[in-house]
Amino acid sequence: MQPESEKIELRIAYLEELKQWVFNAFEVGQNLNEVFSHVKADKSDVEIFDAVIEQLEQLYGFSKMAFMLVDEKDNDFSLIACKPNVMQDQIQAEIDGQIKCGNFAWALSQTKACVVHSSTMPTTSVLHVLSTKSRVRGMFMGVTEKKIDDVNDSMMSFLTMLLLGIANTLESRELYRYVNEQNANLEKLVTSRTKELEEARVEAENASKVKSTFLANMSHEIRTPMTSVIGYAEWLESGSIDESERQEATGAILRTGRHLLKIINEILDISKIESQKIDLEIMAVPLHNMLEESARLLSAQALAKGLKFEIKHSFPLPKIIMTDPTRLKQILLNLCSNAIKFTDEGEVSIDVVYEAASGKIKFSVNDSGIGIPAESIDSIFESFTQADSSTTRLYGGTGLGLNISKRLAEMLGGTIEVSSVLGEGSCFAVTIDPGESSGDDFAENYAAFSKTIAVQQESSDPVKLARLSGKVLVADDNSDNQRLVGFHLGKRGIKVVMADNGQQAVEHALVDDFNLVLMDMQMPVVDGLEATELLCSSGYSAPIVALTANASKEDMDKCLAAGCVDFLTKPFDKRRMNQVLEKYLPLAGVNESEQSIETLDKEFEALTEKFLLSLPEKKLNIEVALASQNWSELKSLMHQLKGTSGGYGFPDLGDAAAKVESLLKSQDTDGVDKLMKDFNEEFQKVVIS
């Protein structure tokens, strides 16, 4: 038995040692704290664990140490750091041994150090899980030369604290990395979004700039002619002008008015194309006719500038093409008008060729004009762009035509290409898809080409318009329009009755006899559409023609569905107006058989009466001629009666007169008395009736 003093000695030594250890532990704690505070910096796991191992070695005197971490991919433990490095194999063998004997698993389930016999050597192994509240992150193993019983519990508790700290540090480091990564991603996302937004902003700004420029140009383009319209109109209103000045003013108003209308139509075209609202009306079109019609308009323009204009055909050409003739003509007229506008001498031509390879027709509009600078060629198809803004002042134009033409050409299955040599001329080549055409439809020469279709030649020249007869009801709430239409109709000899709204239109139409009704579609009280529907459902038989400012196909269809037979768009195209009038009204004085029954009924009565009243005088003339044997006079009188009697409903009198006339024609006067007796009998019948 040890003496008491010796026990105390031992006890003191032990406490002394423990005190030393606690000091060391503080130091290690401090050092590790230092290590942990640096984990946010870019230190690798290995570096951290090496530092930890160093501290633990100092404190615990482990001869071998190892840190294993859970591999997130396969949930397996892999060795991340060990000491001494050269003994890695032995260390790994010890770990495997602990796994095999189940100590490893036991340690995983504990939150404290598991002190066990080493499996591969006569030492003691300390296994300690590396875990946080959320999950197991790894395992620590230390090998000490001490006996199991000599391993101090307090020291092991401190190990638990240290390792918990390490595990938490690892976790926060991971979170920190994750947050950093998210931040980086977010930053990247924000950057790319910002870039996208910026691009969108620039694009929107550009678009808005283009629109503003467009609007500015447009309002300028519209304001300029408006100024002269108003100016000249004010001048006219002042009244203190002579005839030539008046002509000048009205001429200018008409000219600028037409120009304005053109601008407005083109703007509408563009907006229709942009909103894809243009409906093509594809139909079979005789190519020769289409070209001739265009040429008629263009030759006059060219001639006015002293230019030659011609169409050059490269045969074979299809006789019939499938396209929208209105749009195709619009393209050709636009390109040719441009060509003429920019050419001061020489010629403008359209070269027409069928390109068998592509199956398309090419119309090349060539001119010998000023040409287009190379740097401007790409932009001439943009809205409101002319090669040089000064050209606008010099040559006028809206700058919309080419843009429209190109888009229309694309809608017709082709495109427009341009080539030009500055100062020598330009070539605008339009291709369109002419649809399917069979071999027989091709003309090999001009004779065959031009003979293909007999067409009605509608003259664009102002010809003397024949007088028409009949009565027309004009329903329009706008008194200016009323006067305009009234004037136009009056000029052609047509009687006109006005209605200010749909109600008046219906009431007039039902009471009075009209050959034709011109019905404005937008009117107060009852609009034209409703009035037309009412009239048609009431059995109204005179043709009703719609007047409308809305020239869309949808509106036209609505008018036709309501019962209109045709339509005129405002402002009125005089030629269309004349076409409509000529279609529905009879010519004055001739073709009376074509007159509608209404007119006949009334006019006929009046005319018949007039005819009957004139008969006694005619009879007297006839007696005189007969008595004086003035055969030629008698013949001419009989000729007149032959022509008119039948028309007034007295065919027998006409026949009798015809017989007398034909007898006198044959220079035979012998039978005159007999025939005159018959004639007189018929004459009496008529007079008595």
Partner 1 sequence: MATLDVMIVDDDVASRDLLSGMLRTQFQAKITSVADGVDAMRMCRDKSFSIIFLDIEMPRTDGFEALKVIKSLHPNQFVAMVSGHSSLDYVKKAMGMGANGFIVKPFSTSRVQAVIDKYTAEK
Nearer to partner 1, 417 or 592 (CB): 592
Handedness of CA 589, 593, 597, 601 (dihedral sign): positive
Stretch that binds partner 1, among 167-175, 202-210, 299-307, 506-514 (CB under 8 A): 506-514
Nearer to partner 1, 459 or 541 (CB): 541
Q: How far is the CB of 663 from partner 1 (least distance, A)?
A: 38
CA distance 596 to 306: 49
User: Do 412 and 404 form a contact (C-beta atoms < 8 A)?
Assistant: no
Count of CA atoms in the C-beta half-sphere (13 A) of 365: 28
For the segment 394-433, give every residue that binds partner 1 (CB under 8 A): none
**What is the token pair recorded at 358?**
């592509």
If we measure between CA atoms, which residue out of 480, 507, 497 comes closest to residue 572?
480
Q: Is 561 in the site for partner 1 (CB under 8 A)?
A: no
Q: Is 605 in the site for partner 1 (CB under 8 A)?
A: no
Q: How far is the CB of 515 from partner 1 (least distance, A)?
A: 11
Among all chains, which residue has been given the structure tokens 């532990």? 25
CA distance 67 to 138: 7
Other CB atoms within 10 Å distance of the CB of residue 619:
15
Q: Is 506 in the site for partner 1 (CB under 8 A)?
A: yes
Q: How far is CA 474 from CA 481, 485, 508, 597, in A?
A: 10, 8, 10, 20
CA distance 27 to 24: 5
Among 120, 132, 419, 503, binds partner 1 (CB under 8 A): 503
Among 107, 596, 658, 683, binds partner 1 (CB under 8 A): 596
Nearer to partner 1, 144 or 501 (CB): 501
CA distance 442 to 431: 18
Q: How far is the CB of 540 from partner 1 (least distance, A)?
A: 7
Binding track over 135-174 against partner 1, x by CB under 8 A: ----------------------------------------
Q: Is 604 in the site for partner 1 (CB under 8 A)?
A: no
Q: Is 198 in the site for partner 1 (CB under 8 A)?
A: no
**What is the token pair recorded at 118?**
């080493």
Q: How far is the CB of 646 from partner 1 (least distance, A)?
A: 21
Q: How far is the CB of 586 from partner 1 (least distance, A)?
A: 15
Binding track over 520-549 against partner 1, x by CB under 8 A: ------x-------x--xxxxx--------
Among 280, 597, 624, 687, binds partner 1 (CB under 8 A): 597
Report the alpha-carbon angle 584-585-588, nearest 5.
160
Stretch that binds partner 1, among 191-199, 217-225, 387-395, 498-506 (CB under 8 A): 498-506
How many Å from the N-terminal Cα to the C-terminal Cα in the chain?
A: 178
Q: How far is the CB of 550 from partner 1 (least distance, A)?
A: 24
CA distance 494 to 497: 10
Provide the pairing of β-strand 347-355 with 136-144: unpaired
Stretch that binds partner 1, among 12-20, 135-143, 146-154, 503-511 (CB under 8 A): 503-511
Q: How far is the CB of 493 from partner 1 (least distance, A)?
A: 22
Q: Is 598 in the site for partner 1 (CB under 8 A)?
A: yes
If we measure between CA atoms, which residue out of 506, 498, 467, 505 comes closest to residue 480?
498
Q: How far is the CB of 470 from partner 1 (least distance, A)?
A: 13
Q: How far is the CB of 526 from partner 1 (least distance, A)?
A: 6
**What is the token pair recorded at 609?**
């009466």
CA distance 401 to 383: 8
DSSP string, 266-316: HHHHHHHHHTT-PPP--EEEEHHHHHHHHHHHHHHHHHHTT-EEEEEEESS
152 phi and psi angles, rounded to 5 deg: -80, 125
Q: Is 510 in the site for partner 1 (CB under 8 A)?
A: yes
Handedness of CA 530, 531, 536, 537 (dihedral sign): positive
Nearer to partner 1, 302 or 499 (CB): 499
Q: How far is the CB of 542 from partner 1 (least distance, A)?
A: 9
Q: How far is the CB of 631 from partner 1 (least distance, A)?
A: 44
**What is the token pair recorded at 173?**
């480091």
Among 511, 613, 627, 688, binds partner 1 (CB under 8 A): 511
Q: By CB under 8 A, name the binding residues for partner 1.
A: 502-503, 506-508, 510-511, 513, 526, 534, 537-541, 596-598, 601-602
